[in-house]
A and B are shown apart, each in its own frame.
Chain A
């Protein structure tokens, strides 16, 4: 049985390690072989980018060698997929190799596509890549006064990031002693300040307390970086001195090119996490088209379900679990407090007041992530 995992990020790594342990006897007796393909020998802890953008972490702290995170029995190759031939049950890679499989797992994640919005690449800061987070930090350090506008593209990974960003901006400018000279204006695509109703209800008085201006029903149409104006699809505009964008996202190009899903989002069964119409192809994490937050936490819970099901199919011929849409998110509410939200397909999150211990727990999790992807947590 050849299991091929494409993508060595959060979902792919947790899945590979979990499977390698569940199937250790089968791997030893050569009945099962697990191969992982990724496009980098490094693994990045992406949530750390928000800290990099505020000078609280340096980029080197975000990386580990991917091989060091994997069980030894996982056959790991840095050789990105360039074509998925689902009908022939094989994947072609950049080096020209062809990998045949019995079971395929796709966990290639998502990428920012600021270029889809005219002017966004040139005109806006962001923190969704290492380079941009560093650039944003330099700008945050130097701005003395004016309007800092925040805009949010759709879809985007880490849906809580826009709110966390606001809390961090407020604390950062306060610490620099310039908060009273800087107006922070938040723009959000739908009719309230966060898509989760309970988060919106909880965040609104917090925004009011911090003196954050906000405009809802604002979908970015274009950025006029010569005149420092951002315009919305809805016909409004904001003048800014510094613009920070959560850029819109797509799935990976290879997914679209191989006709697996428009926008790089693969049509996926909500509960079994199989690609629609293909029972031996599983999809994990950001690249699914599921109406589930694009978060490491969703990728983690999905990976556990897929690992258990693949292992049980091999051992007893049938899957044993359904994914219930579970997501768990820390919400940093500034530089020394945090809260959290847990929800699934049926149950909305119930937000608790933020606290210092929750912030320390998130700080600890920033390190525990490496234990978590090894499958030990």
Chain B
């Protein structure tokens, strides 16, 4: 399995966490796991919504001390 790449999108309003994830997803290879860190309250719902709609795999989604940690595997 490839290393987990962490995307630090804490404290960003623009481009924002989901835009950051989409950027890094494009650079990743199929099978790669990315972990998004976000302090945006909405990320816990927005990010899984996109991941599911586009068809990647949501591995975990938890909020620790105000920071969302969302792990996704690129599937296509």
Contact = CB atoms under 8 A, between A and B. Distances in A.
Interface stretch (A58-66, A187-195, A365-373): A187-195
B1 interface: no
Interface stretch (A92-100, A332-340, A341-349): A341-349
Given A190-B50, A217-B53, A234-B54, A343 B14 contact: yes
Interface in B9-49: 9, 11-20, 22-23, 26-27, 42, 46, 49
Main secondary structure of the interface of A (DSSP, over half): loop
B29 to A, nearest CB: 11
A144 B15 CA distance: 35
A291 B15 contact: yes
Interface residues on B, range: 20 to 34
Given A233-B54, A262-B27, A263-B27, A195 B11 contact: no
B49 A217 contact: yes
A292 to B, nearest CB: 7
Contacts of A196: 13-14, 16
Given A155-B15, A190-B50, A195-B14, A291 B27 contact: no
Contacts of B9: 291
11 contacts: A155-B15, A155-B19, A189-B22, A195-B14, A195-B18, A196-B13, A217-B50, A217-B54, A291-B12, A291-B17, A345-B12
Interface of B: 8-9, 11-20, 22-23, 26-27, 42, 46, 49-50, 53-54
